[in-house]
Amino acid sequence: MARVLICDTVAQDALDAIRKGGHEVVEKVGMSVDELMETAPQFDALVVRGATKVRKPVLEVAAKGNLKLIVRGGVGLDNIDLDDAAALGISVQNTPAASSVAVAELAMAHLLACSRFLGPANCTMKNGEWNKKAYGKGKELWNSTLGLIGFGRISKEVAKRAKAFGMNVIFFDPFIDDEEGARKVDLDTLCKESDFISLHIPHNKETHYLLDAPQFDMMKDGVIVVNCARGGTVNEAALLEAMKSGKVFAAGVDVYEEEPAKGNILAEYEKTVATPHIGAGSAAASKRVGAEVARKINEFFE
C-alpha cells in the first residue's frame, strides 16, 4: 500500500479508484511551500496539477523520506524540476492525452472570438449598446492560413478542427517531420505566411520569448495570435505593442508569465480575449485526467 498526497484538486472518481487500488489517499490542497516540504516526505506519491510547484528544495527533502512518484494531472511539467527529480530517483509522470481535446477546443474558441469581436461585442450588448458597425468587419477562418508553433498532441487536434473550417495549416516544430494535411516550415516562414498563429509548446530556455518584437515585425498586418500553451513563450509587452500598432488584430490569451494574472495589462487590453488558464478545464477532461492519474499510480505501485 502506498500513501498518496493530493496537492491539487482531482476528480472524486480518481480518488475512489486510487483507494480501490489499496492505497491511502490524503487531500491537502493549497499548501504553502513550507507545508509541502513538511508533508511530502511522509508520502510515497504526490499528485499535482498546475498550481503546486515541486522545486528542488521540496524534492530533496521528500527524497529523504518516502517519495517515489509524482503524477502531474495534465500536460505541462514546467512546475516540477525534472532533472532534480531524476537525479534523486523520483519518477515523474503526466497525462498528456487526457486533456488534449479540451485545450484544442479552447484554442479554436479563441480563434473565433478574436476574429469576430465576441469579447467586446458581448460586453457592450450587456451595457445596452448596439455597435453593429463597429463589430461588423471581422475576419473569417475559411481560406486563411493557420500557423501552429509546436506540433504535438494538442496542436494536431487543433489542426484537425482548423481543416474542418477550411484553413490551410502550416507548423513549426524542429522535432516533428511533415504531417499529412500540414506543411512544416521554419519559424520565420510561419510568421510571414500565417493569418492566425497558435502556440502549443512548453516553456523552457529554448522557447522563452519565442515570439518577440522581431517575430511580430515580420508578421502580416492584422494577424491574430492565440496562446493556450504556456506563459513566457510570448513576450507579453511586445504582443501588447503589436496590438496597439495594429500589426496584431487581436490576441487570445489563456496563459501568462505570472499567474494568477491579476492586474495584467495584456489581459485587460481591449483587443485581448483573456481567460484564466482554463485550457484543460472541461468536466470531461477532468474525468479523463483523473482516470489517467489513478491508473498511473495503481500501475506504479503494483
Active-site residue, 277 included: yes
The pLDDT assigned to 302 comes to 87
Residues 6+ apart with CB under 8 A from 260: 276
CATH 3.40.50.720 fits 3-97+283-300, yes or no: yes
Distance CA 191, CA 180 (A): 21
Residue type, 290: G
pLDDT reported for residue 134: 92
Domain boundaries, the chain: 3-97+283-300, 100-274
Structure letter (DSSP) for residue 195: S
- Set of cell numbers at residue 207: 522557447
Identify the active-site residue in 140, 258, 259, 299.
259
Determine the average pLDDT of the residues in 13-30: 95
Residue 178 pLDDT exceeds 80? no
23, 110, 200, 230: which is the annotated catalytic residue? Answer: 230
**Tens digit of each residue's pLDDT (9 = 90 or more) over 218-254:** 999 999 999 999 999 999 999 999 999 999 999 999 9
User: How many degrees, rounded to 5, is the angle at CA 73 between CA 72 and CA 79?
Assistant: 40
Distances (CA, A) of 231 to 208, 235, 259, 276: 9, 9, 9, 12
pLDDT above 90 for 50: no
- Residue recorded with cell 473569417: 140
Amino acid letter for position 205: K
CB-count burial class (<10 Å; 0-12, 13-18, 19+) for 179: middle
Select from 32, 20, 23 the least CA-distant residue to 5.
23
Q: Cα 161 vs. chain centroid, distance in angstroms?
A: 18
Residue 288 annotated as catalytic = no
35 an active-site residue?
no
Please check whether the two domains, 3-97+283-300 and 100-274, share a CATH topology.
yes
| CATH code assigned to 100-274 | 3.40.50.720
Task: Specify whether the backbone of 143 is left (phi greater than 0), alpha (psi in -120 to 50) or beta.
Answer: left
Cβ atoms of 1 and 44 closer than 8 Å: no
Distance between CA atoms of residues 266 and 222, nearest Å: 17
